[in-house]
Chain A
Amino acid sequence: MVKVFKLVIAGPYGAGKTTFVRTLSEVVPIETDVLDGNKTTTVAFDYGRIRVNDIVVHIFGVPGQERFNFMWRIIARGMHAYIFMVDSTSVDSIKAALNMYNFFESQFANTPHIVAANKRDISKVSLDDVRRILNVPPSIKVVPLIATDKKMALETMIMLLEEVHRAMFRSEAAKTLTVL
């Protein structure tokens, strides 16, 4: 049976989620935000996929607008991990992500994640400031990212998977201790 690793890319509108999915995916991502003139913003979701032997990595981008927050929980259901992405070019763009980050951090407290500070090529805000503004817990990594850069996108994936592996080890160790 094919196994599934479900990864969710969360973050506000304009954080670079679609670009990240496009950089990593083996399939053309499904269309997401579409501006219809200046009136209607239409949403579906970003979707990408990578197959590794018998494991399929499904990558879902969450619509960033707060008015679609009822979809966040639906898309996040069953995820194994998530990357929270922010446009780190300015303090204001990071502050705009605060509500969404609080939502994910509180609703999915036990799900491994990292925070990706995107657009580092044009950012003047330090990673420490990103952490401070979003109030990211010390145990969670804040990593630099340029979503168009395949090398950085792969490094981000590796860091996330290391977090997932660590979380699995922790839980296995906890189970062993309980048995003992």
Chain B
Amino acid sequence: MSAVSALASIVKSMEKDLGVGSISLVIANHNNIIFATDIPADQRDIVASTISFVSKYSSLNEARFRNGDYIIYVTKKGEITLVLILSYYELESILYKLLNKHYLQDIIKASEDMLREIDKASPELSITSDELTEEDILILLDFFKAKLREVESKGG
């Protein structure tokens, strides 16, 4: 099972076990979102801002606040930030249960697996490199034109 499927499965188990209608989960690596389930429309901006805020303050490891009808719970472990969004009325009664069960550890573990999968492919969302020159673009153009000729010669 891939890390993405494992995370989806954990969220489903949490909803079933805790008897709540819907839990939204967002996982970020530093400032980059690497996983998200369905998020209430009016909570998206605050979630993005929260991730940005938490990633900047290394001493902040846990926070919980209310935004409208929702409670947003944020926790950070190493490079991973988890954001859980639940209905305010549901979370108040189950928060203790949620935080004292194995779910968070399971999510962190699956997130770390996901990071390893990502690292394996080496993507870089926040890319820094030397400025590309016109010559670099011409090199890329030549490369893709050569690939095209190769495919055409094979009759592809």
Contacts and interface: CB of A to CB of B under 8 A. Distances in A.
Given A44-B35, A60-B125, A78-B127, A34 B137 contact: no
Contacts of A47: 118, 121, 123
Interface string B3-31: 01101110110000000000000000001
Contact of A164 (B12, B126, B137): B137
Q: Which of A44, A45, A57, A158 has the most CB of B within 10 A?
A: A44
B37 interface: yes
A74 B144 contact: no
A77 to B, nearest CB: 7
B139 interface: yes
A29 B5 CA distance: 16
Interface string B137-156: 11111011101100110001
Chain B interface helix/strand/loop/mixed: helix
B48 interface: yes
Interface in A119-154: 149-151, 154
Contact of A3 (B132, B147, B156): B132
Interface residues of B, number: 51
B12 to A, nearest CB: 6
Interface residues of A, number: 52
A29 B121 CA distance: 8
Contacts of A53: 139
Interface stretch (A9-17, A64-72, A91-99, A103-111): A64-72
13 contacts: A3-B136, A30-B117, A30-B121, A34-B8, A36-B8, A49-B121, A52-B140, A53-B139, A60-B123, A67-B44, A151-B148, A165-B134, A165-B137
Interface of B: 2, 4-5, 7-9, 11-12, 31-39, 41, 44-45, 47-48, 114, 117-118, 121-130, 132, 134, 136-141, 143-145, 147-148, 151-152, 156
